[in-house]
């Protein structure tokens, strides 16, 4: 039934607010429900942007934008697209971290599916309550490892919501085809369980076979109800992240952004860094601080990239060295779990500083969630052994970064090739400006998802991730590299996403993962498929 009157104003997908024309106001019974003055879309955008900027701090901006999304969807997404460099840090990292921490306090209106253990045996029926039927993209979390903030339970819903907002604005996935999901399996965060405002189950986390059985039911329900969808796993703890990806990657089109997206965007930064250091990727050595799913995911993809450069598998693994919270990852240790064991080194345990002196890495990569673990001494040692040391401080949010951009430049006399997971402002040093590169997964996952969906890929493999990384690195101009930035400007992401989507689709075709013909017409169809918010 066609909506009319106040119903159409309360539907964010249909609402145009003060932009409804006089004729539309008559047709839809809106006379008297809106002020007399008719606004253009540009006027609404200017008003919305002014209202964002008048908010006191970023969390207030986040709340305002969330409200706008629920009020006028097209205005919200157009605002993001037109001002992505200003607003992405608000709708995603670093502000989304605070938003998740305060999610229960900020909750005003539902925006996703909450699947709790109470629904075991009924998940397929519960998922049918979602108002859309043509779901193509699902982002799911269980809230156990939100950014670098730990177990936030159902408060982690802010992550799927934020990721999908970026899919829509940066790749043009249609909002009505997106579904954010949180699996409420309890929380081990005792403070949350004791918080009277917390909205999730007040029980310790489900573990073991019962947990896997619950996720199995969810995945089988997705396969049955939404067979054309891409399922993205987000912010699961390391063991579950790896287990679930291995368990389902051959069952349906799925992807873990923390493992695969992070790996691809970091690989892109490393590819780009070779244009600054003039050291080919095949000749580089890499030292990782942190050995969780993100860090080892980077390592596994990096090994495959090095093999593509002509190294043997053994030679490729030999170029990587890892440290975790217990020190050097080495074969003499008895506590290593399966995902880190391939990176273990022979020989005695040594300190991080000793490793820099003996291993002489070209790149220092941090994925720890531990702020300030990159010390002046450690980074200084990197600078002694490298004319242009590559320093990647990847942990999110900004407050969790292994070091700041300013520290990296100061400790290396301005010579560092720096990248981070969250944004840092430009740094002035010795009369020059350095623009830190932000290795945000938003450079990869929107284009990756767009390509996989539009070519109807049967799966996502390492070759597709490497193709995405190479395409992203090639999108960085020489001028941007001179300023120190390893990634293109945020305002270019939407176009970069199209290039990545084409590279992903082409690789999928080469590997037999799609029957689509990837040609100029495919690119035209891809561009026509993209959502563009307008009236």
**Is 60 exceeded by the pLDDT of residue 398?**
yes
pLDDT at 1: 52
Pair 186, 284 in one domain: no
Average pLDDT over residues 174-201: 97
Q: What CA–CA distance (Å, rounded) separates 503 from 473?
A: 12
Q: What's the mean pLDDT when you consider all of the chain?
A: 95
Average pLDDT over residues 472-488: 95
Assess contact for 456 and 430: CB atoms under 8 A.
Answer: no
pLDDT at 422: 82
Q: What CA–CA distance (Å, rounded) separates 387 from 383?
A: 6
Q: Give the contacts of 512 (CB within 8 A, at least 6 positions apart).
A: none
Confidence of residue 123 (pLDDT cuts 50, 70, 90): very high
Number of H helices, E strands in the chain: 24, 14
Which residues lie across from 320 on neighbouring strands? 286
Q: Which two tokens stand for residue 138?
A: 């699902």
Q: Which two tokens stand for residue 475?
A: 């999108």
Average pLDDT over residues 361-368: 97
**Is 70 exceeded by the pLDDT of residue 349?**
yes
Rounded to 10°, the helix 262-277/462-474 angle is: 40
Residue 427 phi, psi dihedral angles, 5° rounding: -115, 130
Average pLDDT over residues 2-7: 92
Higher pLDDT, 398 or 39: 39
**Is 90 exceeded by the pLDDT of residue 437?**
no
pLDDT at 399: 87
Pair 281, 401 in one domain: yes
Q: Which two tokens stand for residue 160?
A: 């799927």
Among 319-328, 359-368, 393-402, the minimum mean pLDDT is found in 393-402
Residue with the two structure tokens 């020489």: 478
Write the CATH number for 369.
Answer: 3.40.50.720
**Is 70 exceeded by the pLDDT of residue 55?**
yes
Q: What CA–CA distance (Å, rounded) separates 496 from 352?
A: 37
* Residue 439 covered by a domain: no
**Is 60 exceeded by the pLDDT of residue 434?**
yes
Q: Is 1 helix (H, G, I), strand (E, B) or coil?
A: coil
Average pLDDT over residues 99-117: 94
- Helix (H) / strand (E) element for 317: namely helix 313-318
Pair 160, 277 in one domain: no
Give per-residue pLDDT as tens, 227-279. Answer: 999 999 999 999 999 999 999 999 999 999 999 999 999 999 999 999 999 99
Pair 113, 210 in one domain: yes
Please state the domain count of the chain. 2
**DSSP letters spanning 167-196:** HHHHH---GGGEEEEEEE---S-HHHHT-T
Catalytic residue set: 92, 163
Pair 160, 247 in one domain: yes
Give per-residue pLDDT as tens, 13-31. Answer: 999 999 999 999 999 999 9
What beta strand segments (E) does 241-351 contain? 254-256, 286-289, 320-324, 327-328
Choosing from 252, 277, 293, the residue where a domain stops is: 252
- Helix (H) / strand (E) element for 525: namely helix 520-529
Pair 350, 412 in one domain: yes
**Is 90 exceeded by the pLDDT of residue 431?**
no
* Residue 478 covered by a domain: no
pLDDT at 255: 95
Q: What CA–CA distance (Å, rounded) separates 40 from 118?
A: 47
**Is 70 exceeded by the pLDDT of residue 370?**
yes
Average pLDDT over residues 45-70: 97
pLDDT at 387: 97
- Alpha-carbon dihedral of residues 419, 289, 375, 395, nearest 10 degrees? 50
pTM of structure: 0.94
Choosing from 416, 447, 473, the residue where a domain stops is: 416
Q: What is the distance between the terminal CA atoms of the chain, rounded to a whole angstrom? A: 21
Choosing from 416, 449, 483, the residue where a domain stops is: 416
Pair 273, 402 in one domain: yes
C-alpha angle 457/460/466, rounded to 5°?
120
Residues written for the chain: 535
Assess contact for 185 and 433: CB atoms under 8 A.
Answer: no
For residue 371, the enclosing domain spans 260-304+311-416
Pair 288, 368 in one domain: yes
Rounded to 10°, the helix 520-529/493-510 angle is: 130
Residue with the two structure tokens 């563009």: 532
Higher pLDDT, 25 or 338: 25
Q: Which two tokens stand for residue 401?
A: 């970064």
């Amino acid at each position: 039934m066609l909506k009319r009157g106040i119903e159409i104003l309360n539907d964010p997908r249909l609402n145009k607010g003060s932009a409804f024309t006089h004729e539309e106001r008559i047709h839809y019974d809106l006379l008297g429900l809106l002020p007399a003055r008719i606004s253009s879309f540009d006027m609404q955008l200017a008003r919305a942007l002014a209202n964002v900027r008048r908010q006191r701090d970023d969390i207030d901006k986040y709340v305002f934008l969330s409200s706008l999304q629920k009020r006028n969807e097209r205005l919200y997404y157009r605002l993001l697209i037109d001002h992505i460099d200003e607003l992405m840090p608000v709708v995603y990292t670093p502000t989304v971290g605070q938003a998740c921490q305060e999610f229960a306090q900020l909750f005003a209106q539902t925006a996703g599916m909450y699947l709790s253990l109470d629904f075991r045996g009924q998940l397929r029926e519960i998922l049918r309550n979602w108002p859309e039927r043509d779901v193509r993209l699902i982002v799911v979390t269980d809230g156990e490892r939100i950014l670098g903030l730990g177990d936030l339970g159902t408060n982690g819903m802010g992550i799927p919501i934020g990721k999908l907002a970026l899919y829509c604005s940066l790749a043009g996935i249609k909002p009505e085809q997106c579904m954010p999901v949180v699996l409420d399996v309890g929380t081990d965060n005792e403070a949350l369980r004791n918080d009277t405002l917390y909205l999730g189950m007040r029980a310790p986390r489900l573990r073991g076979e019962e947990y896997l059985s619950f996720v199995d039911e969810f995945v089988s329900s997705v396969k049955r109800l939404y067979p054309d969808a891409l399922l993205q796993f987000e912010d699961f703890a390391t063991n579950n992240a790896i287990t679930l990806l291995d368990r389902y990657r051959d069952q349906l089109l799925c992807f873990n952004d923390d493992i695969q997206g992070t790996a691809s965007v970091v690989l892109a930064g490393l590819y780009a860094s070779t244009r600054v250091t003039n050291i080919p990727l095949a000749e580089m050595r890499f030292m990782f601080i942190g050995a969780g799913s993100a860090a080892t995911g980077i390592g596994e993809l990096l090994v495959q990239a090095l093999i593509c450069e002509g190294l043997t598998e053994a030679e490729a693994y030999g170029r990587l060295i890892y440290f975790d919270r217990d020190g050097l990852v080495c074969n003499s240790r008895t506590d290593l779990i399966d995902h880190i064991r391939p990176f273990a080194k022979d020989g005695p345990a040594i300190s991080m500083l000793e490793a820099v002196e003996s291993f002489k890495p070209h790149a220092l990569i941090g994925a720890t969630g531990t702020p300030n673990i990159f010390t002046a001494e450690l980074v200084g040692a990197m600078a002694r052994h490298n004319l242009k040391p590559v320093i990647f401080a990847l942990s999110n949010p900004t407050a969790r970064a292994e070091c700041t951009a300013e520290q990296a430049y100061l400790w290396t006399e301005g010579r560092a090739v720096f990248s981070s997971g969250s944004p840092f402002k430009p740094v002035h040093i010795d009369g020059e400006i350095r623009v830190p590169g932000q290795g945000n997964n938003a450079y990869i996952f929107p284009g990756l998802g767009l390509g996989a969906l539009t070519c109807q890929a049967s799966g996502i493999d390492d070759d597709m991730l490497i193709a995405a990384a190479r395409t992203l690195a090639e999108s960085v101009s020489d001028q941007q590299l001179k300023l120190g930035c390893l990634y293109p400007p945020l305002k270019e992401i939407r176009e970069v996403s199209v290039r990545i989507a084409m590279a992903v689709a082409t690789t999928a075709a080469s590997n037999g993962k799609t029957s689509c013909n990837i040609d100029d017409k495919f690119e035209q169809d891809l561009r026509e498929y993209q959502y563009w918010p307008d009236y």
